[in-house]
C-alpha cells in the first residue's frame, strides 16, 4: 500500500511503465464515458477503478489508497461535490488530488469545486488526451516541491515540504496539494508582492482552466485554515488590484 503523497517514481511522458503504480478512482455514472476514461488511462499506464455512484468510494479508497480521484459532478445520490467533501473530511485522504468532471461550465460550479478542495476541473466534452494530460499534470504537482532543508517556521506557522504538512498555532492543518503549493510559494517569497499571474505560473503551470479568480478562492481557503481571524489576515495580505504578499507577523 502506498501513501497518496510522497515517494513516487518520476512520471515519464513516454514510458507507461513509469506510471503503473498510480491508481485512479473514477466516479462516473455514464457507462460510455466511464469506459472511455478507463480505457485511455489504462492505455497511458494507470490502474483504474470505476464506480457508478459515491456509495462505497471513501471506504474503498481507505483500503486501496488511490493516487487521484476523478469525480463526475452530476451523479445519482451523492453528487461529486458531496463525495469531494467526504474525501476531504477523511484525514487519510484529505490531500489526495481530486479532478472534477462535469458538463457544467458555469463559473459558479468551478469555484464551488475549488472551494471544496478540488485540484482541477475538466468540462465535458473533453478529449481523452487532454484528460490524461491533466491527470499527469496534477500528479506531477505532487512531487515538484522545491527542496527545503527543514520545515519553514514563520511566526506561529510551520510549513514542512518533506511531509507536506502545515501547522498553525501548534495545530495540524489539512491542506490540498495546490493549497500547500500556493502557501509554500508565498512563504518562500515572503515580503514580496506576487501578482495573481505570477502565482498562476508558479503553482498552476500546466492547468489552463485556472483563472486569477481561482487564486482568490485558494487564498480565502488558506486564510480560513491558517489565520486566527481570516477577515484580518496576519500572513496572507491582499494588495488590492495587484496580488498578494506573505508577511511574517511581528
Residues that bind Ca ion (CB under 5 A): 29, 72, 74
Spacing of C-alpha 229 from chain mean position: 24
Q: For Ca ion, which is the closer residue by CB, 110 or 223?
A: 110
Tell the smallest beta-carbon distance from residue 79 to Ca ion (Å): 9
Q: For Ca ion, which is the closer residue by CB, 62 or 103?
A: 103
**Pick from 50, 30, 29, 27: nearest CA to 38:** 50
**Pick from 19, 8, 9, 11: nearest CA to 45:** 19
Q: For Ca ion, which is the closer residue by CB, 40 or 198?
A: 40
Q: For Ca ion, which is the closer residue by CB, 72 or 184?
A: 72
Give all strands of the β-sheet with 98-102 in edge-to-edge order. Answer: 47-51, 23-27, 68-72, 98-102, 120-123
Q: For Ca ion, which is the closer residue by CB, 49 or 234?
A: 49
For 208, residues 6+ apart whose C-beta sits below 8 A from its C-beta are none
Tell the smallest beta-carbon distance from residue 174 to Ca ion (Å): 28
For 80, residues 6+ apart whose C-beta sits below 8 A from its C-beta are 27, 54, 71, 72, 73, 74, 100, 101, 102, 113
Tell the smallest beta-carbon distance from residue 50 to Ca ion (Å): 13
Give the count of alpha carbons within 13 A of 185, CB side only: 25
Q: For Ca ion, which is the closer residue by CB, 29 or 247?
A: 29
Q: For Ca ion, which is the closer residue by CB, 77 or 146?
A: 77
Tell the smallest beta-carbon distance from residue 58 to Ca ion (Å): 19
Tell the smallest beta-carbon distance from residue 209 to Ca ion (Å): 19
Tell the smallest beta-carbon distance from residue 103 to Ca ion (Å): 8
- Burial code (b: 16+ CB inside 10 Å, e: under 16) for 81-116 equals bebbeebbeeeebebbbbbbbbebeeeebbbbbbeb
Q: Which three cell numbers stand for residue 94?
A: 484529505
Measured from each CB, the residue nearest to Ca ion is: 74
Tell the smallest beta-carbon distance from residue 67 to Ca ion (Å): 22
Cβ atoms within 10 Å, residue 150: 8
Amino acid at each position: 500500500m502506498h501513501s497518496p503523497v510522497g515517494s513516487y517514481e518520476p512520471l515519464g511522458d513516454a514510458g507507461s511503465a513509469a506510471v503503473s503504480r498510480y491508481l485512479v478512482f473514477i466516479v462516473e455514472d455514464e457507462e460510455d464515458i466511464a469506459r472511455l476514461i478507463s480505457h485511455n488511462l489504462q492505455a497511458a499506464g494507470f490502474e483504474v477503478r470505476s464506480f457508478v455512484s459515491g456509495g462505497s468510494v471513501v471506504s474503498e479508497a481507505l483500503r486501496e489508497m488511490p493516487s487521484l480521484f476523478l469525480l463526475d459532478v452530476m451523479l445519482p445520490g451523492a453528487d461529486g461535490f458531496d463525495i469531494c467533501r467526504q474525501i476531504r473530511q477523511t484525514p487519510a485522504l484529505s490531500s489526495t488530488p481530486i479532478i472534477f468532471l462535469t458538463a457544467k461550465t458555469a463559473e459558479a460550479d468551478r469555484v464551488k469545486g475549488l472551494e471544496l478542495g478540488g485540484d482541477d476541473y475538466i468540462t465535458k466534452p473533453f478529449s481523452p488526451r487532454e484528460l490524461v494530460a491533466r491527470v499527469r499534470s496534477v500528479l506531477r504537482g505532487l512531487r515538484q516541491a522545491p527542496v527545503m532543508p527543514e520545515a519553514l517556521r514563520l511566526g506561529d506557522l510551520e510549513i514542512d515540504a518533506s511531509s507536506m504538512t502545515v501547522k498553525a498555532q501548534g495545530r495540524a492543518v489539512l491542506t490540498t496539494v495546490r493549497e500547500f503549493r500556493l502557501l509554500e510559494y508565498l512563504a518562500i517569497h515572503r515580503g514580496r508582492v506576487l501578482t495573481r499571474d505570477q502565482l498562476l505560473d508558479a503553482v498552476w503551470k500546466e492547468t489552463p482552466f485556472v483563472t486569477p479568480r481561482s487564486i482568490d478562492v485558494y487564498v480565502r481557503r488558506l486564510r480560513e485554515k491558517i489565520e486566527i481571524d481570516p477577515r484580518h489576515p496576519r500572513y496572507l495580505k491582499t494588495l488590492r488590484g495587484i496580488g498578494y504578499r506573505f508577511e511574517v507577523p511581528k
